[in-house]
Amino acid sequence: MYTDKVMEHFTNPRNVGEITDPSGVGEVGNPTCGDIMKIFLKVEDNIIKDIKFKTFGCGAAIATSSMVTEMAKGKTLDEAEQISNKAVAEMLDGLPPQKMHCSNLAADALKKAIEDYKKKQAV
C-alpha cells in the first residue's frame, strides 16, 4: 500500500517532539478522519532553525509530518510557505489515492505555524 519511503519515514520519523518556547505553533485537525497534527517552529533571521511535530494519525499522516519538517528545516519562511501538499506526497514517492488528504494535514500545519509566527512578530 505504502511506498518504501513512506514506511521509512513512518518507522523513523524525523523531528518528533515539541519545542519549548516555540516561535510559532500550527495545529490542524482533519475533519474527514479526525486526525490531529501539531507543528512547532524555532525561527531565527527568517530561517527555520528548528522544527518539530506531533501527530495523531495514520501511517501517511505520520510520514507526511516527518517529511514536511525535513523539507522545511533550514529554509526561509517564504520558501517554506511554498511547500505544497503535492510536493510532500511526491517526496514520499506518492501516497495511495485514499490517503492524499493526509498530506494536507502536514503542509497546512506548517503554514499555520508560519502564520502564527508572523502574527506574533506583528504584535
Partner 1 sequence: MRRVYFDHSATTPVHPAVAEEMYRYVNKTFGNPSSVHFFGREARKAVEEAREKVARAIGSRPEEVIFTSGGTESDLMAIKGVAYANCNKGNHIITSSVEHHAVLDNCKALEKEGFAVTVLPVDADGMVSPDSVAAAITDKTILITIMHANNEVGTIQPIHEIGRLAREKGILFHTDAVQSFGKIPVNVDELLVDFVSISGHKIYGPKGIGALYIRKGVRWLPISLGGGQERKRRPGTENVPGIAALGKAAEIAMETMADEAARLTLLRDRIIKEVMENYSNVRLNGHPTKRLPNHVNFAFEFIEGEALLLSLDLQGVAASSGSACTSGSLEPSHVLLAMGIPPEIAHGSLRITLGKDNNEEDVSYFLEVLPAIIDRLRAMSPLYHK
- 61 scored as a contact of partner 1 (CB under 8 A): yes
Q: How far is the CB of 84 from ligand FES (least distance, A)?
A: 18
Out of 33, 90, 115, 120, the active site residue is: 33
Q: Which of residues 7-66 bind ligand FES (CB under 6 A)?
A: 30, 33, 35, 57-58, 60-61
Distance CA 79, CA 102 (A): 22
Distance CA 55, CA 103 (A): 12
- 93 scored as a contact of partner 1 (CB under 8 A): no
- 7 scored as a contact of partner 1 (CB under 8 A): yes
Find all residues with CB under 8 Å of 67, minimum gap 6, and list them: 9, 88, 91, 92, 106
CA distances from 38 to 16, 24, 82, 106 (A): 10, 11, 19, 9
Binding site residues, partner 1, CB under 8 A = 1-2, 7, 10-11, 13, 16, 27, 32-38, 54-62, 98, 101-102
